[in-house]
Amino acid sequence: MNKEVKLEDIVSLAKRRGFIYQGSEVYGGLSGTWDYGPLGVALKRNIMNLWWQMFVEDRDDMYGVDAAILMNQKVWQASGHVDTFTDPLVECSNCHARHRQDKLEDANKCPTCGQTGTFGEARAFNMMFKTNVGPVADESSISYLRPETAQGIFTNYKNVVDSFYPDLPFGIAQQGKAFRNEISPRDFVFRSREFEQMEVEYFVHPEKWEEAFEQWRKDIEVFLDKLGLPRESVEEVEVPENDRAHYSKRTIDYEFAFPHGKDELLGLAYRTDFDLGNIQRVSGKTMEYRVKGSDETFVPHVIEPSFGVERALMAVLTSAYREDEQNGEKRIYLALPEHLAPVKYAVSPLLKNKPELVEKAREVYQMLKKKYGAVMWDDNGNIGKRYRRQDEIGTPHCVVIDFQTLEDGTVTVRDRDTTEQRRVEATVLYQ
Ligand code: ATP
């Protein structure tokens, strides 16, 4: 990995090349929100699809769901979020800036105005966005934008068991938006107020949680490899008991070497029967699982791997970002794994004012597009400029159609990482 990747390099590339823009930018922005441009949405989807394929489609013990973002307020009362989903908030009496106390470098010094001793007592700030459902705004219509996708899984556990009666262990997976009113959104998309999660709740026999936990550690490693993250940039950090959520008996935070420093990429937690137990208690409905062919019943325990899409995307960009020199000039390129690249092939005619070249190039373009979908037509500027642009967005192959193509059907294919060019029969590319 390129050790000196700076956050501003990633932010500037992301904006310049149409990956990620500030949310509501034309109106001065909205803090903690981001909009994905054409290439960003493609990269994000490729990451999410990879996850879905590996953790849902390729397995026979997993069930996907897509629950509503708005849920009955009882969900968040039972889960403990209404009372305890808080961060410690301090306000500076000098400049009135508000900060998250546990993320301050110096707990006594305001990072905004530099004064010390200006913070009073921290207060617990609840991070859920509150709203009302329906035309009457009263206590009974209160709802929240979900701060995690997990609860939409737990509330559907019984439905999935009743419809499919899966053997234990089995998992339910969900991808989708989550919202947290973070006190200080920062570090680009790393800490946003609206973001996306990919979560699995894996239901196990209470005595078998340890083996499932170990298996998840292995599966996570495989996924991180597929994202192209170098092993040495990820560290498993065992969370000590006093730092763990009260319901968790074991948690590993996976920390990645982001440009802003080592920070949480994803979490793996053993959540015991905390959530299903709460649902059972508050709803009055049984969450017990009966083992097939026996009278043994119990509330399953849960292992939860919880991935954040934005953090995965930032880790992917950080790992792929490269600078080198080509013909005496600085070059920036993204060495993305091919399966994640937003564009797989870029196709150009050598000269755009030669109709016979354009026509042939269009033909090759159409054939490649049919095969790969993510293929870009690029005839802007000279070939050198096109290569530059494609390098910056991580396109692995650039195909150029020239006069020789008209004679023998061969094209030039240029490799992003080595910049080497080879001549191949065009048909070989899309057969
Ligand atoms: P942090 O300590 O960084 O606030 P957390 O421990 O509260 O994170 P979890 O509640 O474990 O986060 O959420 C699971 C995953 O969701 C995180 O590992 C992360 O990938 C993602 N995530 C959480 N909060 C945010 C956020 N504000 N912006 C982007 N991703 C987030």
From the first residue on, what is the mean pLDDT of each consecutive set of 10 residues in the chain (431 residues)? 80 96 97 98 98 98 98 96 93 92 90 92 94 95 98 98 96 98 94 98 97 98 98 97 88 97 97 96 96 95 98 98 92 97 97 94 97 95 93 98 96 97 96 86
Q: Looking at this protein, which amino acid is placed at residue 175? A: Q
Pick from 307, 284, 277: nearest CA to 80? 277
Contact present, 305 and 268 (Cβ < 8 Å): yes
Tracing tokens 């262990």 back to the chain, one arrives at 169
Residue 382 to residues 157, 188, 378, 385, 389, Cα–Cα distance (Å): 57, 33, 10, 5, 11
- The model carries a pTM of 0.95
CB atoms within 10 A of CB 47: 24
Kindly state if the Cβ of 197 falls inside 6 Å of ligand 1.
Answer: yes
Q: Give the whole-angstrom CA distance, residue 293 versus residue 277.
A: 24
Kindly state if the Cβ of 253 falls inside 6 Å of ligand 1.
Answer: no
Q: Give the whole-angstrom CA distance, residue 385 versus residue 112.
A: 42
Nearest CA to ligand 1 atom 1: 264
Pick from 323, 327, 371: nearest CA to 345? 371
Nearest CA to ligand 1 atom 30: 308
Kindly state if the Cβ of 360 falls inside 6 Å of ligand 1.
Answer: no
Q: What is the edge-to-edge ordering of all strands in the sheet holding 123-126?
A: 98-100, 86-91, 123-126
Kindly state if the Cβ of 179 falls inside 6 Å of ligand 1.
Answer: no
| Helix ranges (DSSP H) in 228-334 | 274-283, 309-320
Q: Give the whole-angstrom CA distance, residue 37 versus residue 368.
A: 23
Q: Which CATH superfamily is domain 343-430 in?
A: Anticodon-binding domain (3.40.50.800)
Task: Write out the DSSP string of 15-48.
Answer: HHTTSEEETTGGGT--TT-EEE-HHHHHHHHHHH
Contact present, 212 and 202 (Cβ < 8 Å): yes
List, for residues 335-353, the tens digit of each pLDDT value. 999 999 999 999 999 999 9
> What pLDDT was estimated at residue 3?
54
Provide the mean pLDDT of the chain: 95
How far does the centroid of ligand 1 lie from the alpha carbon of residue 399, in Å? Answer: 41
Kindly state if the Cβ of 194 falls inside 6 Å of ligand 1.
Answer: no
DSSP 223: H
> What pLDDT was estimated at residue 327?
86
Q: Give the whole-angstrom CA distance, residue 51 versus residue 374.
A: 19
Residue 254 CA: nearest ligand 1 atom is: 18
Kindly state if the Cβ of 308 falls inside 6 Å of ligand 1.
Answer: yes
> What pLDDT was estimated at residue 2?
46
Q: Specify the DSSP element, H or E, that contains 385.
A: helix 383-393
Q: What b/e string do you get for 319-352 counting C-beta neighbours within 10 Å, with b at 16 or more?
A: bbbbeeeeeeeeebbbbbbeebbbbbbbbbbbee
Q: Looking at this protein, which amino acid is placed at residue 198? A: M
Contact present, 317 and 14 (Cβ < 8 Å): yes
Q: Give the whole-angstrom CA distance, residue 183 versus residue 205.
A: 38
Q: Which CATH superfamily is domain 7-71+147-318 in?
A: Bira Bifunctional Protein; Domain 2 (3.30.930.10)
Q: Give the whole-angstrom CA distance, residue 153 versus residue 83.
A: 21
How far does the centroid of ligand 1 lie from the alpha carbon of residue 254, in Å? Answer: 11
Kindly state if the Cβ of 254 falls inside 6 Å of ligand 1.
Answer: no
Kindly state if the Cβ of 305 falls inside 6 Å of ligand 1.
Answer: no
Token readout for 223 is 């996924």
> What pLDDT was estimated at residue 386?
94
Residue 193 CA: nearest ligand 1 atom is: 27
Nearest CA to ligand 1 atom 5: 264
> What pLDDT was estimated at residue 1?
46
Kindly state if the Cβ of 195 falls inside 6 Å of ligand 1.
Answer: yes
Pocket perturbation via mutation, ligand 1, pick of 151, 181, 195 by most ligand atoms within 8 A of CB: 195
Q: Specify the DSSP element, H or E, that contains 356.
A: helix 355-372
So where are the chain's domains?
A: 7-71+147-318, 343-430
Kindly state if the Cβ of 182 falls inside 6 Å of ligand 1.
Answer: yes
